[in-house]
Amino acid sequence: MPTDEPDTRNLFEEFVVPTYSRYDVVLVRGRGSRVWDEEGKEYLDFGAGIAVSTLGHAHPRMIEALDRQARKLIHTSNLYYTRPQGELARKLVELVDVQGKVFFSNSGAEANEAAIKLARKFGNECSGPLKNGSPKFEILTFHRSFHGRTIAGISATAQEKIKEGFAPLLAGFKHLPFNELAAVEKAITGETVAILIEPVQGEGGIYPASNEFLLGLRRLCDHHGLLLMLDEIQCGLGRLGNWCGWKEIVKEELVPDTISWAKGIGGGFPLGATWIRKKPIHSFTGAAVDLCDLLKPGTHGTTYGGTPLACATSLAVLETIEQEGLLQHARNHGDYAKKQLSALPGIKEVRGIGLMLGIELGEEFAPLAVNGKTPSQVIVVRSMQNGLLTVPAGPSVIRWLPPLNVSRTDIDEAVSILARSLDEIRPR
């Protein structure tokens, strides 16, 4: 870089909207589970771009797919058919193993937006009007949930800090205690049309739903004619050691009505997708229609959703997960990491499934909460200085979301960096 060029941090200060409080590091390249900053310092990347880089950085299969498709056709529009979008939709439906169809977008917030719009459409056209003639529209979500940063996303999200300053929000969301079925049963009214849930809450601090809760929600949805919508944006497509995250939790068959995906689906290439179940429903006019065909031409869309480049890349990522046995790998290595982490002094609990882990700090770290920083932020920064990237979730939880092909040696190294970081700043 020419010496008269400003520092990267200065470019951000002057030209980038300050929506993020960034760590004081400029990352320039990555390979496998490691990234390097502009000074050449190496880090183990156990945040993986917040559960995104499932194959790690610069995986040859992903590079090859990007290169091959980029030379053929990067983008056209959804005015035309393109082969990779059709093939990826088929692949995703096969992975769910239930008949359905897929709508493509670009991010998690948009994947949820499609599910929320589907619920509205279902309420408008198919689930019976209220006594006053207006459509049903209420969606139930859960305390600590996170569903994205659009207005619909923050309205669905139960965390107050995410909503602050953006009133009035979208009407029609009610937030309920997580894993408390009786509360849900009590909250369902004639206005309710759907339930939206993360099978493992991510941003809220890595809290898995229970088997009984998820099965109970399905029963309630069936009984009241509601849609069960799973937000698998963080926990889906391999992170929990299963294509379908909820199947690592439920002991019986559970078929959702929608699934939202993003993050890991493209291994780092932006893509969102919403699976909608093929399920016969009836409109008020009596016409039979499948749920997956309810969003008709002109009702929803996005310019970039499902470009040939995004879909060809995602296909390569999913095929690589399959061919390299990474579901089993994520399960084994997640169990291994959990065991090592649980043995560290000062750790209260390690929650999570597969490679979606939440490390809850013990009370002894509470005094680290000074100058507006939480204990988890302080430890994430110290670990980063010691060469390990992780992500805080709530005031006392550190998230580990490494690439699905992370090695045992990398896990051992990460555990020892975290142990050292905890020791260095443990209040005495």
Ligand X SMILES: Cc1ncc(COP(=O)(O)O)c(C=O)c1O
Q: Is 20 exposed, middle or buried, given 0-12, 13-18 or 19+ CB atoms closer than 10 A? A: exposed
Least gap, CB of 344 to ligand X (angstroms): 26
What are the distances in angstroms from CA 277 to CA 88, 140, 181, 243, 306?
Answer: 16, 19, 24, 16, 19
What residue number has its CB nearest to ligand X? Answer: 108
Binding site for ligand X (CB under 6 A): 50, 107-109, 112, 146-148, 198, 202-203, 231, 233-234, 262
CB 234 within 8 A of CB 177: no
* Helices 326-342, 308-323: inter-axial angle, 10-degree rounding: 70
What are the distances in angstroms from CA 372 to CA 21, 367, 385, 428?
Answer: 12, 12, 20, 21
Least gap, CB of 89 to ligand X (angstroms): 19
Least gap, CB of 266 to ligand X (angstroms): 10
Is the bond preceding residue 168 a cis peptide, omega within 30 degrees?
A: yes
HSE, CB side, 13 Å, CA atoms: give it for residue 228: 19
Q: Which is nearer to ligand X, 203 or 410 (CB)?
A: 203
In 343-407, which residue ranges form alpha helices assigned H by DSSP? 375-385
Least gap, CB of 146 to ligand X (angstroms): 5
CA–CA dist 359, 314 (Å, integer): 30
Least gap, CB of 118 to ligand X (angstroms): 16
| Contacts for 367 with CB less than 8 Å, ≥ 6 apart | 427
Least gap, CB of 233 to ligand X (angstroms): 4
Q: Which is nearer to ligand X, 32 or 153 (CB)?
A: 153
Q: Which is nearer to ligand X, 84 or 202 (CB)?
A: 202
Least gap, CB of 284 to ligand X (angstroms): 32
Q: Which is nearer to ligand X, 149 or 426 (CB)?
A: 149
Question: Beta strand pairing status for 391-392 and 192-197?
Answer: unpaired
CB 409 within 8 A of CB 336: no
Q: Which is nearer to ligand X, 265 or 406 (CB)?
A: 265
Q: Which is nearer to ligand X, 210 or 407 (CB)?
A: 210
Q: Which is nearer to ligand X, 203 or 248 (CB)?
A: 203
